[in-house]
Amino acid sequence: INSPLRLNNGVTIPCVGYGTFRTPADVAEQAVADAIEVGYRHIDTAAVYGNEEAVGKGIKDSGINRHRLFVTSKLWNTERGYESTKKALDESLEKLGMDYLDLYLIHWPANQKQFGDRAAEINAETWRAMEDAYHEGKIRALGLSNFMPHHVIDLMKTAKVAPAVDQIEVHPGWPHTQEVKYLQAHNILVEAWGPLGGQGAKVLTNPTMEKLAAKYGKTTAQISLRWILQQGVLPLPKSVHPDRMVQNTQIFDFELSDEDMKTISELPNLGGQCKDPDEVDF
Ligand code: A2P
């Protein structure tokens, strides 16, 4: 899980990350310490998760040197714009108890529905603040989350530093195939949130997934994570249970055939709240 992928600015990132969305603050400290204990070196959090302080404590508890970890956080939607972005980053660092982040993401693009013609400008100003923090050494890499290609194209009109990452929802039944292709062709590493269908998509109990799990002698969670990895996409599974944390790392001792990759990629939408970044109004 820690074999390094190289971002477009040369920074390396462990190829599986530990997700902490919906991990409450009172659980996150122990969960993160456990995750590091079982081997994760890449931890993904966000200001809006409300657990940055606990995540920071879990990291401290683990006793591991900060420099041996890859830590990501994200700028929440209420903090967009140049000044508030800089302030929000400092607050995240303070809560985490760190003086730099490995990766900082804009959590959601400002969209036209909410901001009309100002959307692109808001994203550009937010990005400019992130670029400045990058040059100041507070962030080792910059990225996006939930940006679809058209948002990336708009951002690139003014960006001086290209995004290294885009973290989008990817799981069986919601593959975002065209978007993944576009991002990869532009040298942007795709990270998968909700890789197990975490938002309510019935991935883990899907009969096709169960058939494949039986065929490979793996669990449906492992099949899903492997399908993500084999596309060159970086999965961010989360679990608060150490046995599942471990299970979610055991995905390097088998390979899905091309045909089985295709079968999974063609699964219909399995439900859940698949969010459209152009429609969200938070
Ligand atoms: P729990 O934390 O109780 O283990 P996602 O990463 O797609 O957001 O999905 C996370 C959800 O899937 C959580 O509810 C988590 O529950 C559950 N989960 C994580 N790993 C596994 C696994 N290996 N098998 C079954 N469920 C899992």
Ligand 1 atom closest to Cα of 196? 7
pLDDT tens-digit readout, 54-101:
999 999 999 999 999 999 999 999 999 999 999 999 999 999 999 999
Confidence grade of residue 241 (pLDDT, cut at 50, 70, 90): very high
pLDDT at 274: 85
3-state secondary structure 180-242: HHHHHHCCCEEEEECCCCCCCCCCCCCHHHHHHHHHHCCCHHHHHHHHHHCCCCEECCCCCCH
The pair of three-digit structure tokens given for residue 196, joined into one six-digit string: 């197990």
Tell me the best of 30, 42, 244, 275 to mutate to test the pocket of ligand 1, counting ligand atoms within 8 Å of each CB and taking the most: 244
Topology of domain 4-265, per CATH? TIM Barrel (3.20.20)
Q: State the catalytic residue, choosing from 49, 104, 134, 182.
A: 49
Ligand 1 atom closest to Cα of 245? 20
Tell me which of 23-32, 47-56, 270-279 is least confident.
270-279
Q: Whose CA is nearest to atom 2 of ligand 1?
A: 239
Half-sphere exposure of 19 (CA within 13 A, CB side): 22
Percentage with pLDDT > 70 across the chain: 100
pLDDT tens-digit readout, 125-150:
999 999 999 999 999 999 999 999 99
pLDDT tens-digit readout, 200-220:
899 999 999 999 999 999 999
User: Is residue 199 over pLDDT 80?
Assistant: no
pTM of the predicted protein model? 0.98
The pair of three-digit structure tokens given for residue 237, joined into one six-digit string: 């599974």
